Chain A
Amino acid sequence: MKALRPFWPLPALLVALLLPWLPGLPAFWVTLANYTGISSIVAIGLVVLTGISGMTSFGQATILGLGAYTTAVLSKYCDISPWLGLPAGLIVTAAGASLLGAVTVRLSGHYLALGTIAWSVGLYYTFANLDLLGRNDGISGIPPLTILDLKLLDGRASFSVIWIGVILAALATNNLLDSRAGRAIRALKGGAVAAASFGVDTPRTRLLAFVYAAVLAGFAGWLYAHMQRSVNPTPFGFYQSIQYLLMTVIGGAAHVPGALLGAVLVTTVNDRLQDILPRLFGAHGNYESIVFGMLLIAVLQWAPNGIWPLIARIRPRARIIRADALRLPARAMPAPGTTLLDVARLRRSFGGLVAVNDVDFKLAAGEIVGLIGPNGAGKSTTFNLITGIDTPTAGQVSFNGQDITGWPARRIAAAGIARTFQHVKLVPTMSVIENTAIGAHLRGHASALAGLLRLDRTEDARLYAEAARQLARVGLADMADRPATSLALGQQRIVEIARALCLDPVMLLLDEPAAGLRHNEKVELAALLRRLQGEGVTILLVEHDMEFVMGLVERLVVMDFGTKLAEGSAEQVRNDPRVIEAYLGSVE
């Protein structure tokens, strides 16, 4: 199989090196291609930020300016080699982005976007007013890049450098998205709660996406400064920032090739418009902004996913699972029968409403227990309190001898509690096995940088081997490479179980696992849960299908109005008049 996947960067590299020297190629085209290349790099960063993690920035041009000014000042005034301007520029952009990101990533997505507007306008005026940066005139006479003693002054030489840069940016981004950190970024789209439940530090992951996009913009800025050999504030304004966003959205915000496509389209159209529109309207001015604005709105309305998905068939790539990958270390299961979960006087009130009212129950290791009750009884809130999605008002949750009350979700996940969700939370753009692998997030350690540089392959193969093993365990091995949302809803619930198993959990919390399953699928699910129990996993499940739950569990906890109403075997509960009354209502 591997031979069929050509390694695209090699031919791309040849093109980058040879194309500009093609005889008869107009110099003008080379210049246009150079701008396209620089824009592509910024747009690729925005793919990660906007398309993949659902945030956006209206300040990428300004960040590009930050990188450009940094290297301009260093190389012009401090006589530092332009090559050293690169790491300096990247450090400055990363630091600036971290600052802005840190204050906004915990707020809803639009605050980051709004922050970038205000911030980039502020920074723009800083560029335009600082004497050091030459105010509105900017800095000119920036030294070009040199290789050995060769100065890269020619546009064709710049072409090679810039497009090698594009290739590197695309490679790095593909690598990142295919790594543990990248899966965490992609998981943000399935909901921050689900990601946090598998140990993803969601604010940090958002910050990572923002800083990564900024670093690529800074890189583009470095290329720009040494290609253009002069910088001034104009190309770093709000208008240019929107153009970068336009490229990403038009091309296909969630796809790296889409960013390239968008950059090519927008740069070319822009160039043509600047020719045509002044002829139509007479004077000079930013007439192309009319067209771009309308184009952007039209794309949002008619093709919200951009052009790339319309022309390319997007399929999750088939995974090759390395059978020789070392099994991940498994945690020791507690001795059967010992108290594993102890919920004591757990309480959660919202204003005057008490959703969970002093609830007590215990689970012994190796048990399967059902949590049932009528609609609105407080079962889901109880789940959220145990898993750290929500914080109790009072009471205590102990797990495996530790007091976990008030711990954040990802720490509770690390302690060995994995869950599924009543409303399935899979990432639609990822395949079944990629979704499953998110569950193993905490069992890997590779950093984003390691992922970017492909130093994480051994570990990643182990994570994928684990995901494949868990899929096989739940009977979905042959679905591994299908897009997650192409499965029936019932099967998606089973994928969630596989994902939860990837955490190597001590305890599984299942929220309505049987909903949407057909009869024989329910029988299989019951068998699976029993098998898991046999392997030492403790299971607590909320379920409305009484036949299913009563046939499966050893013990039931019944809740009503936030309080524990009854506890006991299926038979005891079924015949308990209070339970019957809770379900069927009372007769006056």
Chain B
Amino acid sequence: MDSTILAILLQDGVVNGAIYALLALSLVLVFAVTRVIYVAQGEFVAYGALTYAALDGGHLPGSVALLGVLGLAGCAAGLWQARGRLDRPAVLRLLGETIVLPAVIAVAAIILAPMKPGVLVEVLLTLAIVTPMSPLLYRIAFQPLADAPVLVLLIAAVALHLTLTGLGLVFFGPEGFRAPAFSDITITAGPLMIPGQALWIGGLTFALMTALFAFFERSLTGKALRATAVNRLGARLVGIPTERAGLIAFALAGFIGALSGVLIVPLTTVYYDSGFMIGLRGFTAAIIGGLGSYPGAVLAALLVGVAESFSSFWASAFKEVIVFTAIIPVLLWRSLRHGPAEEEE
């Protein structure tokens, strides 16, 4: 293997790793705030990718209808969960979030989609369509289980993944799609030819991480979210509505998932069920990083990306095997460091 191949593999790995890092970050965040291991986040990658591909082709994406369905379900779930203690502002807020907002987005999509409004608007529209589904799903699936053990939440998350994959098939169809890159420029740096999409991925990932950092370090809402993750009871005692913290965390995860999908669809053909395998890599990274550490997750994600690109070069048939079984030695190491099994209460 010469240095050119090495450089190309490294570059591929880092680009993919950047996407996995975003996914891993949001998994860690969602877990910290809600204790949900959000297996279904991968579906948002597929939804984002397919929605963007449809908009790029000038079609109305199937996800608009799905958003409507989820909005109605979310509204019903919200009314049911809050029965007996509903007042006007609460109902109005619920209607706004579950009916009005999706309706506005749907109308915008119906008007804009046939106009082929260009990359920027298409990306924004994609994010607007896909992101709200995640907090809606939180309302429907997880809010009633807020006090359940981690294991039950995990089973629910896996069930949600199952449902979303099926819904993806209904609303997007079985064909795979690929979209053109955001730009055609290629930068040549020594032996490396860096395609524009790679730069977009790198740049946006970096920008998003910076924005997330600023959000959590600077804004009161970001701090409230962190506070909920650190000490739920303490957060409730200062009046942070912890259910809303859950909604925000899920919205962030949905946003990051959709954005990852948009970024990745020019690189690879995405099918309705492609999200799981992509999400699972983010997931592997989050676990390797310890499910609690943001820098750990990012670092592990880059490692997973690089490991994947190298194993696809050497043993492409076994790249999944290599990437996913890498988790075992990490768990072993954690287990040995950990000492006796802890009490789960």
Instruction: From the candidates B166, B318, B324, B338, name the one contacting A118 in the complex (CB within 8 A).
Output: B324
Instruction: From the candidates B170, B283, B324, B338, name the one contacting A287 in the complex (CB within 8 A).
Output: B170
Instruction: From the candidates B144, B170, B323, name the one contacting A301 in the complex (CB within 8 A).
Output: B144
**Which residues 168-188 of B have a CB within 8 angstroms of A?**
169-170, 173-174
B160 within 8 A of A: yes
Residues of B contacting A285 with CB < 8 Å? 166, 169, 174
Assembly CA distance A55 to B149 (angstroms): 11
Residues of B within 8 A of A (CB): 37, 39, 141, 144-145, 148-152, 154-156, 158-167, 169-170, 173-174, 276-277, 280, 283-284, 287, 317-318, 320-325, 327-329, 331-332, 334-335, 338-345
- Tell me the smallest distance from the CB of A488 to a CB of chain B, in Å: 22
Query: Are the C-beta atoms of B344 and A118 separated by less than 8 Å?
Result: no
User: Can you name 11 A-B residue pairings with CB atoms under 8 Å?
Assistant: A102-B332, A107-B335, A108-B342, A109-B149, A115-B331, A122-B321, A125-B320, A242-B162, A286-B165, A291-B166, A301-B145
- Return the chain B residue nearest A105 by Cβ: B341
Counting chain A CB atoms within 10 Å of each CB, the highest count among B151, B152, B159, B317 belongs to B159
Assembly CA distance A206 to B344 (angstroms): 13
- Return the chain B residue nearest A56 by Cβ: B151
- Tell me the smallest distance from the CB of B1 to a CB of chain A, in Å: 22
Query: Are the C-beta atoms of B328 and A103 separated by less than 8 Å?
Result: yes
A296 within 8 A of B: yes
A338 within 8 A of B: no
- Tell me the smallest distance from the CB of A186 to a CB of chain B, in Å: 16
**Which residues 103-118 of A have a CB within 8 angstroms of B?**
103-111, 113-115, 117-118
Query: Are the C-beta atoms of B341 and A106 separated by less than 8 Å?
Result: yes
Residues of A contacting B325 with CB < 8 Å? 118-119, 122
Q: Per-position contact with B for A91-132: 1 when CB-CB < 8 Å, else 0?
A: 000000001101111111111011101110111011001000
Assembly CA distance A115 to B328 (angstroms): 7
Assembly CA distance A54 to B150 (angstroms): 11
Instruction: From the candidates B141, B167, B320, B331, name the one contacting A111 in the complex (CB within 8 A).
Output: B331
Query: Are the C-beta atoms of B150 and A203 separated by less than 8 Å?
Result: no
Query: Are the C-beta atoms of B341 and A408 separated by less than 8 Å?
Result: no
Residues of A contacting B173 with CB < 8 Å? 283
Instruction: From the candidates B141, B317, B318, B340, name the one contacting A106 in the complex (CB within 8 A).
Output: B340
Given contacts A122-B321, A287-B166, contact A103 B331 (CB under 8 A): yes
**Which residues 258-311 of A have a CB within 8 angstroms of B?**
281, 283, 285-294, 296-297, 300-301, 304
Assembly CA distance A296 to B325 (angstroms): 28
Query: Are the C-beta atoms of B169 and A126 separated by less than 8 Å?
Result: no
Given contacts A103-B332, A293-B164, A304-B148, contact A118 B156 (CB under 8 A): no
Residues of A contacting B322 with CB < 8 Å? 122
Query: Are the C-beta atoms of B318 and A129 separated by less than 8 Å?
Result: yes
A429 within 8 A of B: no
Assembly CA distance A105 to B331 (angstroms): 10
Residues of A within 8 A of B (CB): 50, 54-56, 58, 99-100, 102-111, 113-115, 117-119, 121-123, 125-126, 129, 191-193, 196, 202-203, 206, 238-239, 242, 245-246, 249, 281, 283, 285-294, 296-297, 300-301, 304, 408
- Tell me the smallest distance from the CB of B150 to a CB of chain A, in Å: 5
Residues of B contacting A122 with CB < 8 Å? 320-325
Assembly CA distance A301 to B143 (angstroms): 10
- Return the chain A residue nearest B327 by Cβ: A118
Residues of B contacting A206 with CB < 8 Å? 341
Given contacts A121-B324, A285-B169, contact A296 B162 (CB under 8 A): yes
Given contacts A191-B345, A285-B169, A297-B159, contact A110 B320 (CB under 8 A): no
- Return the chain A residue nearest B169 by Cβ: A285
Query: Are the C-beta atoms of B170 and A293 separated by less than 8 Å?
Result: no
Query: Are the C-beta atoms of A117 and B280 separated by less than 8 Å?
Result: yes
Assembly CA distance A114 to B283 (angstroms): 9
Query: Are the C-beta atoms of B343 and A193 separated by less than 8 Å?
Result: yes
Residues of B contacting A296 with CB < 8 Å? 155-156, 159, 162
Query: Are the C-beta atoms of B151 and A109 separated by less than 8 Å?
Result: yes
6 tightest Cβ-Cβ pairs between the two chains A and B:
A293-B163, A290-B166, A293-B162, A296-B159, A122-B324, A103-B332
8 extra A-B contacts, CB within 8 A, seeds A99-B328, A292-B162: A114-B37, A191-B343, A246-B159, A285-B169, A287-B166, A294-B163, A296-B155, A300-B145
Counting chain B CB atoms within 10 Å of each CB, the highest count among A58, A238, A300 belongs to A300
Query: Are the C-beta atoms of A290 and B170 separated by less than 8 Å?
Result: yes
Query: Are the C-beta atoms of A289 and B328 separated by less than 8 Å?
Result: no
Assembly CA distance A266 to B277 (angstroms): 26
- Return the chain A residue nearest B318 by Cβ: A129
Query: Are the C-beta atoms of A58 and B327 separated by less than 8 Å?
Result: no
Query: Are the C-beta atoms of B167 and A290 separated by less than 8 Å?
Result: yes
Query: Are the C-beta atoms of A106 and B338 separated by less than 8 Å?
Result: yes
Instruction: From the candidates B152, B162, B164, B174, name the one contacting A239 in the complex (CB within 8 A).
Output: B162
- Return the chain A residue nearest B141 by Cβ: A297
Query: Are the C-beta atoms of A119 and B324 separated by less than 8 Å?
Result: yes
Query: Are the C-beta atoms of A110 and B151 separated by less than 8 Å?
Result: yes
Given contacts A56-B155, A126-B321, A285-B174, contact A118 B280 (CB under 8 A): yes
Query: Are the C-beta atoms of B335 and A104 separated by less than 8 Å?
Result: yes
Residues of A contacting B324 with CB < 8 Å? 118-119, 121-122
Residues of B contacting A54 with CB < 8 Å? 149, 151, 344
Query: Are the C-beta atoms of A125 and B318 separated by less than 8 Å?
Result: yes
Instruction: From the candidates A56, A192, A297, A300, name the one contacting B341 in the complex (CB within 8 A).
Output: A192
- Return the chain B residue nearest A248 by Cβ: B155
- Return the chain A residue nearest B164 by Cβ: A293
Query: Are the C-beta atoms of A113 and B154 separated by less than 8 Å?
Result: yes
Counting chain B CB atoms within 10 Å of each CB, the highest count among A106, A107, A129, A246 belongs to A106
Residues of B contacting A246 with CB < 8 Å? 159
Query: Are the C-beta atoms of B162 and A108 separated by less than 8 Å?
Result: no
Query: Are the C-beta atoms of B161 and A293 separated by less than 8 Å?
Result: yes
Query: Are the C-beta atoms of A115 and B155 separated by less than 8 Å?
Result: no
- Tell me the smallest distance from the CB of B83 to a CB of chain A, in Å: 15
Instruction: From the candidates B159, B280, B331, name the one contacting A104 in the complex (CB within 8 A).
Output: B331
Residues of A contacting B329 with CB < 8 Å? 103
Residues of B contacting A288 with CB < 8 Å? 166
Residues of B contacting A56 with CB < 8 Å? 151, 154-155
- Tell me the smallest distance from the CB of A448 to a CB of chain B, in Å: 19
